[in-house]
């Protein structure tokens, strides 16, 4: 199976040099995900967590 | 090895994210001074807490200028003392241990939260603000009556605290 | 093997003996799913106060133990051993070396899980003096019946023989194909099983050395921090043990279903190597709020855990890019418009994609769980089960159900009874879990504890925000009910499918990767090297904490000295070293840095 997979990868023109397919849609989606992650983290760490009563200091 | 440029970019951004997360947690420790429950307290004999100077009589005690120690024992299925009364605008250190199984000690809606493990003493220091009343729950399953295991933390004004304790805080 | 041959012959046609094992494993997994889902709906309605008539609150914990063990250990592992058997045999294109050994491990696993299951369910009746109300984490000093621990040991032994079976089959293939790259699916199975051997050794030690002898009365007591730490040594990598088969499906099956091809075979290998290296030296992040463990060890564990995000973040890119390639092949255009050119009506596609989307959300709550001091906010609140119902409860479970719609015809030659029901079922799971998990996270922030029959208390009220406690309870109850209905539809669809006649023409082949195995550096296939590094990382992360824990509490618990006595000097030396935490932090960080580079 591995042999045939490798062989086919070579003949298929789309993958000729591997750079012809640019996953720009993926980059966009994952960029949006990244922004959501960062904003949620800032909110939960600085507002929800550090903003609470009885912060453990020792 | 061949990696697409976009994926290299994502790899770099991912590493940046990871370092930022570690950085945030480090900031929390260094800036606001959040400390972890750790191994600073020596172990105790969970089966002989009656003979332990701190836990034989679970209580709140004044230990310094505006500093208080709360010695708490968790057991199936309650906390002692209950309610736990501490003064407002003071520094309170909880010492929590268990005389049977593993419990949790969580002051609901706050950051005071720790595991309570027999043989170990969880130590956590907090600074109280104004008067308030909080629930305390056991947040680790500890047996069939677990859901009934709760208590109360009352943060009362300094004068009320003095009144209740007959001013014998020394 | 020619491409043509694979396209007209299913796995069932080519490997009937192996197909029988895969079917047996999958059916065992579905039985566990059905049982677990039953306890799930009982708990959802009980905990939220909607209906408490079926069980007493004191029996809630018996139900919770059953739910956790049947779903987290049994459903996942049985599906996984079936899937891995299929993946190894398919990708090596050769039968297993000895099918009797295969049936032996399947039998051991089935017997072991039955023993454990019986010990748990006996807790519902007073007629037998047996119970195991210890939840799936079985923290001492809560004790279960010996049958519970013995069953777990037999189950794990079975999984070890399963791994050996696949390794032997791989070695036999290697002799026949000395110069070929390890096929990707087999590579994934072998790295996952290696990780499993390292991880499960700790829980096996905990069960065999401490918990089983203790439950039999051979030893008086155990050190609760030690058995707890050994559990989490296993308990975090087990999460990846469940996830890796889902990743295998996302990397090797999903692109084909989408009409695309895997974007990068080399990166898939890198990801699995990273999981092998980093899955285990992180377990202490479950113990951030444990007394008796130094802050330095907790920090090391956090650093490792955060780097463990990397393979998942890379996976997100690679898998989405593979699917996007499929959409472009189907004529998809635009920055995001291609998303409409995907086979959303196929349950196997929609299910896996929705599972991946849920996993992305779970990634966020996982980051919070991993962040050492922010653990005060959510530790042991219902946020935590909210998180793992997104990961194991959706990323894994929904992927497995979706994959069943694709793989079941391959191993039976029977077409799925109804794709429409399948599609409805996976979407229903997504909606149900979105409701339930979101509300669980929100309640967690309010401070509502996990693992309790009655989360409402007479002496205080939860702070209100993000919707109050009661309103969130309603969301949890509705979500849990939808999940139960979804499971019933899934099981029903599988049962009706089993009644279908066998037909031909169901064979599916998997498309090759865009960037194939030949682009992957050979070093990636050197499993011995990766195993050695993984072991070194585990030793770095765990030797000192374990030594310190034993030194503090004794091998057999507080109040009892270290036994046997000759261990004491060695432990003293180790605990002296344990105080040099600063150095260890630096070393580990450097080692991790080196590995990542």
Strands B91-98, B67-75: parallel, antiparallel or unpaired by DSSP?
parallel
At C576 the pLDDT is 58
Q: How confident is the model at residue C125 (pLDDT cuts 50, 70, 90)?
A: very high
Q: Give the pLDDT band (50/70/90) at residue C573.
A: low
Asked if residue B37 is part of any domain, the answer here is: no
Which residue in the block uniquely carries the two structure tokens 């943060």? B155
Among C303, C369, C309, smallest CA distance to C540 is for: C303
Per-residue pLDDT at C297 exceeds 80: yes
Provide, as residue numbers in chain B, all residues whose Cβ is less than 8 Å from the Cβ of C303: 22
Residue C539 distance to chain B (closest CA, Å)? 21
Residue by residue, pLDDT tens for chain A (58 residues) are 344 444 444 334 444 444 579 999 999 999 999 999 999 999 999 999 999 999 999 8
| Pairwise CA distance, residues C130 & C70, whole Å | 18
Instruction: Decide: helix, strand or coil at residue C418.
Output: coil
Which pLDDT score is estimated for C582? 45
Residue B126 to residue A56, Cβ atoms within 8 A: yes
In chain A, count H helices and then E strands.
2, 0
Residues of chain B in Cβ contact (below 8 Å) with chain A: 2, 4, 6, 9-10, 13, 17, 20-21, 24, 28, 32-37, 93, 107, 109-112, 123-129, 132, 134
Q: B51 and B10 in one domain?
A: no
Cβ separation of C263 and B4 shorter than 8 Å?
Answer: yes
pLDDT value of residue C8:
82
Task: List the CATH number of the domain containing B84.
Answer: 2.60.40.420
Q: Does B27 touch chain C (CB under 8 A)?
A: no
Percent of chain C residues topping a pLDDT of 90: 88
What is the pLDDT, as a whole number, of residue C578?
58
Find the CB nearest B17 among A37, A52, A53: A37
Q: Which residues of B touch A45 (CB under 8 A)?
A: 24, 28
Active site residues of C: 236, 240, 387-389, 450-451
Residues B9 and B91 in one domain: no
Which of A1, A9, A30 has its CB closest to that of C93?
A: A1
| Residue C362 in contact with partner chain A when CB distance is under 8 A | no
B109 vs C457: CA distance, rounded Å? 14
A vs B, Cβ pairs < 8 A, gives 69
The first and second tokens of residue C22, run together, are 């895969």
Range of the domain at B89: 46-164
Do residues C268 and C251 touch, judged by C-beta distance below 8 A?
A: yes
Parts of chain B with a pLDDT under 70: 166-170
For residues B21 and B57, state if they share a domain: no
Look at residue B61 in the predicted model and tell me its pLDDT.
Answer: 95
Write out residues 1-58 of A within 8 Å (CB-CB) of B: 18-19, 22-24, 26-27, 30, 34, 37-38, 41, 45, 49-50, 52-58
**Residue C71 phi/psi, 5° resolution?**
-90, -55
What is the reported pLDDT for A20?
Answer: 74
Per-residue exposure over C225-259, b if at least 16 CB sit within 10 Å of its own CB, e if not: bbbbbbbbbbbbbbbbbbbbbbbbbbbbbbbbbbb
Residues 79-118 of B with CB under 8 A from C: 100-102, 104, 106, 108-118
Distance from CA of A2 to the nearest CA of B (A): 18
* Same domain membership, residue B73 and residue B9: no
Give whole-number Cα distances, C455 to A52, C57, C63, C451, in Å: 21, 11, 16, 9
Q: Which chain B positions have a beta carbon within 8 Å of C58's beta carbon?
A: 144-145
Query: Is position B169 within any domain?
Result: no
pLDDT of residue C559: 52
Listed range (C404-408, C449-453, C516-520) with the worst mean pLDDT: C516-520
Q: Which residues of C touch A15 (CB under 8 A)?
A: 261, 514-515
Q: Is the pLDDT of residue C208 over 70?
A: yes
Burial (CB < 10 A; 0-12, 13-18, 19+), residue B109, is buried
Task: Mark which residues 262-321 of C lie under 8 Å from A by CB.
Answer: 263, 316-317, 320-321
Compute the C-alpha angle C431/C432/C438, nearest 5°. Answer: 90
Say if residues B74 and B115 touch (Cβ distance below 8 Å). Answer: no
Tell me the average pLDDT across C254-267.
Answer: 96
Predicted confidence (pLDDT) per residue in C248-257, tens digit: 999 999 999 9
Task: State the DSSP H helix or E strand holding residue B9, giving kind and residue range, or none if neither.
Answer: helix B5-30
Which residue of C364, C367, C516 is in closest CB contact with A5?
Answer: C516
For the stretch C368-421, pLDDT in tens is 999 999 999 999 999 999 999 999 999 999 999 999 999 999 999 999 999 999
Q: What are phi and psi of B96, to 5 degrees?
A: -120, 130
Who among A19, A41, A54 is closest to B112 (CB)? A54
**How far off is chain B from A17, nearest CA to CA, in Å?**
10
Confidence at residue A6, expressed as pLDDT on a 0 to 100 scale: 40
Residues B78 and B156 in one domain: yes
What 3-state class would DSSP assign to B132?
strand
Instruction: Say whether C57 and B29 touch across the interface (CB within 8 A).
Output: no
For residues B103 and B131, membership in a common domain is answered with yes
Res C318: pLDDT: 96
- Residue of C62, C65, C268, C289 to mutate, testing the B interface (most B Cβ within 10 Å of its Cβ): C289
Residue C485 CB neighbour total at 10 angstroms: 17
| 3-state DSSP percent of chain C in helix, strand and coil, to 5 | 75, 0, 25
Flag if B14 and C310 touch (Cβ within 8 Å): yes
Compute the nearest-CA separation of A22 from chain B (Å): 8
C-alpha separations of C490 from A17, C345, C439 in Å: 43, 16, 24
Indicate the pLDDT class of residue C557, thresholds 50, 70 and 90.
confident
Q: How far apart are CA A27 and CA C323, in angstroms?
A: 13
Interface contact B145-C58, CB threshold 8 A: yes
DSSP C44-108: HHHHTTS--SSS-GGGHHHHHHHHHIIIIIIIHHHHHHHHHHHHHHHHHTS--S-HHHHHHHHHH
d(CA C72, CA C238): 9
What strands lie across the sheet with B84-87, from one edge to the other?
B84-87, B150-156, B132-137, B103-107, B113-116
Residue B45 contacts residue C552 (beta carbons within 8 Å): no
Instruction: Kindly state whether C324 is in contact with chain A, defined as any CB-CB distance less than 8 angstroms.
Output: yes
Give how far A30 is from chain C: nearest CA, Å: 7
Average confidence score pLDDT of chain C: 92
Asked whether residue B71 falls in the same domain as residue B1, the answer is no
Partners for B (CB, 8 Å, 3+ pairs)? A, C
User: What pLDDT, on the 0 to 100 scale, is given for residue C554?
Assistant: 87
Q: Inform me whether the pLDDT recorded for C569 exceeds 60.
A: no
Task: Give residue limits of the domains in chain A.
Answer: 24-58
What local confidence, expressed as pLDDT, does residue B81 receive? 96
Mean pLDDT confidence for C7-35: 96
B59 with B17, same domain?
A: no
Cβ atoms of B126 and B74 within 8 Å: the answer is: no
Give B44→chain C minimum CA distance, Å: 7
Residue B18 maps to a domain: yes
Q: Tell me: do B55 and B134 sit in the same domain.
A: yes
Q: DSSP letter for C449, please.
A: B
Q: ipTM value, please give it.
A: 0.95
Contact at CB, A4 and C2, closer than 8 angstroms = yes
Q: Could you give the CA distance from residue C408 to residue C421 in angstroms, rounded to a whole number?
A: 15
Q: Residue C579: is its pLDDT beyond 70?
A: no
Query: What's the DSSP call for residue A17?
Result: S
Shortest alpha-carbon distance between residue C321 and chain A (Å) = 5
In this predicted structure, what is the pLDDT of residue C591?
54
Query: Nearest to residue B22, comparing CAs of C307, C550, C88, C365?
Result: C307
Other Cβ atoms less than 10 A from the Cβ of B61: the count is 13
Q: Specify the long-range contacts of residues C462-466, CB closer than 8 Å, at least 24 apart.
A: C462/B108, C462/B109, C463/B108, C463/B109, C466/C442
In chain B, the number of structural domains is 2
Q: Which residue in chain A has the smallest CA separation from B38?
A: A58
Classify the C-alpha dihedral C377-C379-C382-C388 as positive or negative.
positive
Domain spanning C14-520: which CATH class is it, in words?
mainly alpha
- If you ran DSSP here, which 8-state letter would residue C141 be given? T
Q: Where are the alpha helices (DSSP H) in C458-566?
A: 469-498, 527-553
Report the distance separating Cα B55 and Cα B118, nearest Å.
Answer: 12
Band of the pLDDT at C574, cuts 50, 70, 90?
Answer: low
Chain C residue closest to A57 (CA)? C373
Calculate helix-pair angle for C76-92, C146-176, nearest 10 degrees.
10
Three-class SS state of C125: coil
On the question of pLDDT at C427 being above 90, the answer is yes
């Amino acid at each position: 199976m591995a042999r045939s997979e490798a062989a086919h990868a070579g003949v298929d023109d789309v993958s000729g040099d591997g750079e012809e397919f640019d996953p720009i849609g993926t980059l966009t989606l994952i960029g949006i995900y990244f922004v959501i992650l960062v904003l949620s983290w800032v909110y939960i760490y600085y507002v929800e967590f550090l903003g609470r009563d009885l912060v453990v200091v020792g | 090895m061949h990696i697409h440029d976009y994926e290299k970019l994502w790899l770099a951004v991912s590493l940046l994210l990871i370092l930022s997360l570690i950085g945030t947690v480090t900031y929390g420790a260094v800036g606001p001074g959040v400390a972890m429950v750790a191994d600073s307290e020596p172990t105790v004999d969970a089966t002989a807490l009656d003979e332990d100077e701190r836990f034989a009589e679970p209580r709140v005690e004044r230990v310094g200028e505006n500093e208080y120690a709360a010695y708490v024992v968790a057991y199936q299925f309650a906390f002692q003392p209950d309610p736990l009364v501490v003064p407002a605008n003071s520094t309170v250190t909880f010492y929590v241990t268990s005389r049977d199984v593993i419990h949790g000690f969580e002051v609901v809606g706050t950051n005071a939260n720790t595991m309570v493990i027999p043989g170990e003493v969880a130590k956590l220091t907090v600074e109280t603000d104004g008067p308030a009343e909080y629930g305390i729950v056991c947040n680790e399953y500890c047996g069939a009556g677990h859901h009934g295991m709760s208590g109360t933390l009352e943060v009362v004004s300094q004068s009320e605290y003095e009144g209740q304790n007959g001013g014998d805080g020394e | 093997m020619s491409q043509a041959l694979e396209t007209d012959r299913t796995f069932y046609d080519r490997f009937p003996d192996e197909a029988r094992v895969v079917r047996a494993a999958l059916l065992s997994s579905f039985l566990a799913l059905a049982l677990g889902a039953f306890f799930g709906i009982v708990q959802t309605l009980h905990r939220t106060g909607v209906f408490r008539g079926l069980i007493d609150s004191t029996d809630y914990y018996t139900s919770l133990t059953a739910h956790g063990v049947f779903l987290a250990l049994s459903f996942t592992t049985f599906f996984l051993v079936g899937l891995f058997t299929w993946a190894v045999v398919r990708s090596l294109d050769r039968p297993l070396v000895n099918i009797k050994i295969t049936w032996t491990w399947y039998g051991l696993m089935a017997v072991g899980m039955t023993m454990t299951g019986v010990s748990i369910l006996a807790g519902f009746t007073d007629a037998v003096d047996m119970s195991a109300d210890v939840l799936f984490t079985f923290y001492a000093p809560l004790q279960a019946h010996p049958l519970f621990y013995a069953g777990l040991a037999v189950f794990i032994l079975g999984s070890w023989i399963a791994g050996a079976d696949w390794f032997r089959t791989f070695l036999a293939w290697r002799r026949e194909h000395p110069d070929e790259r390890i096929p990707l699916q087999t590579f994934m199975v072998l790295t996952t099983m290696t990780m499993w051997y390292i991880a499960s050794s700790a829980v096996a030690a905990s069960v065999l050395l401490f918990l089983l002898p203790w439950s039999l009365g051979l030893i008086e007591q155990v050190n609760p921090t030690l058995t707890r730490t050994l559990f989490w040594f296993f308990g975090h990598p087990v999460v990846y043990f469940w996830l890796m088969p889902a990743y295998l499906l996302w990397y090797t099956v999903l692109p084909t279903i989408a009409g695309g091809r895997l974007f990068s075979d080399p990166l898939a290998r890198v990801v699995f190597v990273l999981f092998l290296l980093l899955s285990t030296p992180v377990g202490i992040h479950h113990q951030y709020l444990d007394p008796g463990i130094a802050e330095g060890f907790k920090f090391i564990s956090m650093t490792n855990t955060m780097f463990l995000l990397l393979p998942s973040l890379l996976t997100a890119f690679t898998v989405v890019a593979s699917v996007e390639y499929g959409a472009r092949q189907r004529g998809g255009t635009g920055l995001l418009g291609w998303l409409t050119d995907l086979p959303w009506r196929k349950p196997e596609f929609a299910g896996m994609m929705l599972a991946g989307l849920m996993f992305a959300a779970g990634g966020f709550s996982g980051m919070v769980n991993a962040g050492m001091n922010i653990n005060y906010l959510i530790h042991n609140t219902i946020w935590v089960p909210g998180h793992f119902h997104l990961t194991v409860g959706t990323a894994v479970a929904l992927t497995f159900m979706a994959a069943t719609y694709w793989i079941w015809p391959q191993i039976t030659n029977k077409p799925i009874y109804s794709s429409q029901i399948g599609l409805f079922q996976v979407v229903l799971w997504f909606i149900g879990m979105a409701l339930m998990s979101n509300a669980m996270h929100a309640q967690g922030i309010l401070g509502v504890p996990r693992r309790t029959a009655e989360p409402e208390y007479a002496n205080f009220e939860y702070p209100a925000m993000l919707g109050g406690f009661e309103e969130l309870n309603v969301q949890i109850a509705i979500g849990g009910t939808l999940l139960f209905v979804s499971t019933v539809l899934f099981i029903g669809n599988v049962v009706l499918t089993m009644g279908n006649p066998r037909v031909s023409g169901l064979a599916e082949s998997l498309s090759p990767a865009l960037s194939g195995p030949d682009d992957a550096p050979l070093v990636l296939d050197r499993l011995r090297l990766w195993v050695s590094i993984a072991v070194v990382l585990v030793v770095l992360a765990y030797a000192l904490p374990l030594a310190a824990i034993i030194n503090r509490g004794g091998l057999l618990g507080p109040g009892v000295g270290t036994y046997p006595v000759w261990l004491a000097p060695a432990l003293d030396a180790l605990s002296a070293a344990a105080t040099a935490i600063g150095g260890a932090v630096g070393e580990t960080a450097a080692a991790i840095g080196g590995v990542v580079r």
